């Protein structure tokens, strides 16, 4: 029996490429009002500019009418703090892949949101069980029913970039996640127009436990001088029909994000096959974070 998602209002934390994309599919496909928060007013401005561009493109292509685009745009509103998200039924955290940041946001969400609201994370590698534990919040007795209810409502809802285009959402339940919360998250992802898979709560889940070693091997090929950047990408694009070569894809995801995920895999498994390449480490040290910073394996004017 399918469960209704019951999300009448959504919160999104982070207006970067993932948060913005999640707001977009929620407003356009699931048609729910969205409150979005980001600590950077510039990021909110950039996010809304991209949102308008995506809507204009869909109108030009005849995928929606001007009226539908305006309705979708009106559903999304920026708010200056989590405290303003009190009435949301679910909040999706989509900030950078940094556990202390996610942990403090989950603690704050559990304090400010209604006790029945779902606390979702778009994390691409960090343990949902660990993030759920942070939802218990400081000062709450870990053995109390308040603590168990807070952790039960945390779930992983992992979208892919670019969110409006990629068809998949990977769901992850932590040890504490209630089955009903997982079912509602699944129903919501489907309402956003996505297909859903589920993964156990292991470092990187299914998607990044497979993708990141592949990207890392491509970087190591470059580092060892086995082939040029262009030939590595060309091999996978033309030889295996991948839409992007692995170095282009790494730039597109963000080299800082790739490194953060690879470190989570390496530290979480102690398996040397996940050790990030030194070249990737150095490029992130240099501030070459890929497309978003103007330079990665390629340059972006
Ligand atoms: N945002 C929204 N829409 C976008 C977009 C973006 N950033 N980039 C492209 N599109 C849309 C285009 O508008 C176009 O839409 P229509 O079909 O409506 O015309 C469609 O995507 C195809 O675009 P293009 O023809 O311009 O270019 P393309 O055919 O090369 O496709 C691509 C672009 C979809 C990004 C394709 O190159 C691709 O699939 N690349 C691989 C992406 C991928 O692997 N993503 C997963 C990354 S891993 C991740 O996100 C998770 C993680 O945890 C790290």
Q: Where are the alpha helices (DSSP H) in the chain?
A: 17-28, 41-60, 66-74, 99-112, 128-134, 145-152, 179-191, 205-223, 229-240, 246-253, 255-269, 278-285
What is the pLDDT averaged over residues 51-57?
A: 97
Cα 269 to averaged position of ligand 1 atoms, centre (Å): 31
Which of the following is catalytic: 107, 110, 122, 124? Answer: 124
Q: Residue 142 — very low, low, confident or very high, per pLDDT cuts 50/70/90?
A: low
The residue nearest atom 32 of ligand 1, judged by CA position, is: 243
Which of the following is catalytic: 110, 125, 173, 208? Answer: 208
Can you tell me the distance from the alpha carbon of 175 to that of 155, in angstroms, rounded to the nearest whole number?
10
Return the pLDDT at 280. Answer: 98
Substitution site in 63, 165, 213, 292 for ligand 1 pocket (most atoms within 8 Å of beta carbon): 165
71 annotated active-site: no
Residue 219 has pLDDT above 80, yes or no: yes
Cα 267 to averaged position of ligand 1 atoms, centre (Å): 30
Cα 160 to averaged position of ligand 1 atoms, centre (Å): 10
At 226-253, the pLDDT tens digits run 999 999 999 999 999 999 999 999 999 9
Which of the following is catalytic: 158, 173, 199, 277? Answer: 158
Percentage of the chain exceeding pLDDT 90: 92
165 lines ligand 1 (CB under 6 A): yes
Q: Mean of the per-residue pLDDT values for the chain?
A: 95
Q: Residue 147 — very low, low, confident or very high, per pLDDT cuts 50/70/90?
A: low
Can you tell me the distance from the alpha carbon of 11 to that of 35, in angstroms, rounded to the nearest whole number?
5
Number of H helices, E strands in the chain: 12, 8
249 lines ligand 1 (CB under 6 A): yes
Domain annotation for the chain: domains and CATH numbers = 10-200 (3.40.50.720), 207-292 (1.10.1040.10)
Higher local confidence (pLDDT), 134 or 64: 64
What is the pLDDT averaged over residues 287-294?
A: 97
Substitution site in 47, 97, 162 for ligand 1 pocket (most atoms within 8 Å of beta carbon): 162
Q: Which of 67-81, 140-154, 275-289 has the lowest mean pLDDT?
A: 140-154
Return the pLDDT at 2. Answer: 76
Surface-to-core class of residue 275, CB atoms within 10 Å of its CB (0-12 exposed, 13-18 middle, 19+ buried): middle
At 66-123, the pLDDT tens digits run 999 999 999 999 999 999 999 999 999 999 999 999 999 999 999 999 999 999 999 9
Task: Determine whether the annotation assigns residue 19 to a binding site.
Answer: yes
Q: Residue 136 — very low, low, confident or very high, per pLDDT cuts 50/70/90?
A: confident
Residue 165 has pLDDT above 70, yes or no: yes
What ipTM does this complex have? 0.96
Task: Determine whether the annotation assigns residue 124 to a binding site.
Answer: yes
Q: Residue 42 — very low, low, confident or very high, per pLDDT cuts 50/70/90?
A: very high
Q: Residue 135 — very low, low, confident or very high, per pLDDT cuts 50/70/90?
A: confident
| Residues 10/16/22/24 CA torsion (nearest 10 deg) | 90
Task: Determine whether the annotation assigns residue 240 to a binding site.
Answer: no
What pTM value is reported for the model?
A: 0.95
């Amino acid at each position: 029996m399918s469960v209704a998602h019951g999300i009448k209002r959504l919160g999104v934390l982070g207006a970067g490429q993932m948060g913005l994309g999640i707001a977009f599919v929620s407003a356009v496909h699931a048609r729910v009002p969205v409150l979005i928060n980001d600590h950077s007013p510039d990021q909110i401005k950039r996010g809304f500019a991209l949102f308008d561009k995506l809507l204009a493109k869909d109108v030009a292509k005849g995928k929606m009418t001007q009226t539908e685009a305006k309705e979708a745009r009106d559903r999304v509103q920026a708010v200056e703090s989590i405290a303003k998200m009190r009435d949301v039924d679910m909040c999706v955290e989509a900030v950078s892949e940094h556990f202390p940041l996610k942990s403090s946001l989950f603690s704050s969400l559990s304090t400010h949101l209604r006790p029945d609201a779902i606390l979702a994370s778009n994390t691409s590698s960090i343990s949902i069980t660990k993030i759920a534990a942070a939802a218990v919040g400081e000062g709450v007795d870990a053995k109390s029913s308040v603590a168990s209810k807070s952790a039960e409502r945390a779930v992983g809802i992992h979208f892919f970039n670019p969110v409006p285009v990629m068809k998949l959402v990977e769901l992850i339940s932590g040890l504490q996640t209630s089955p009903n919360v997982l079912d509602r998250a699944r129903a919501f992802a489907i309402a956003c127009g996505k297909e859903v898979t589920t993964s156990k709560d292991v470092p990187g889940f299914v998607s990044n436990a497979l993708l990141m070693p592949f990207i890392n091997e491509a970087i190591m090929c470059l580092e060892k001088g086995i082939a040029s950047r262009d030939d590595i990408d060309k091999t996978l694009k033309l030889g295996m029909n991948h839409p992007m070569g692995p170095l282009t894809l790494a730039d597109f995801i963000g080299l800082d994000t790739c490194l953060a995920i690879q470190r989570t895999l390496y530290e979480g498994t102690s398996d040397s096959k996940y050790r990030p390449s030194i070249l990737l480490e150095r490029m992130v040290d240099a501030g070459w974070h890929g497309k978003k910073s103007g330079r990665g394996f390629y340059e972006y004017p």
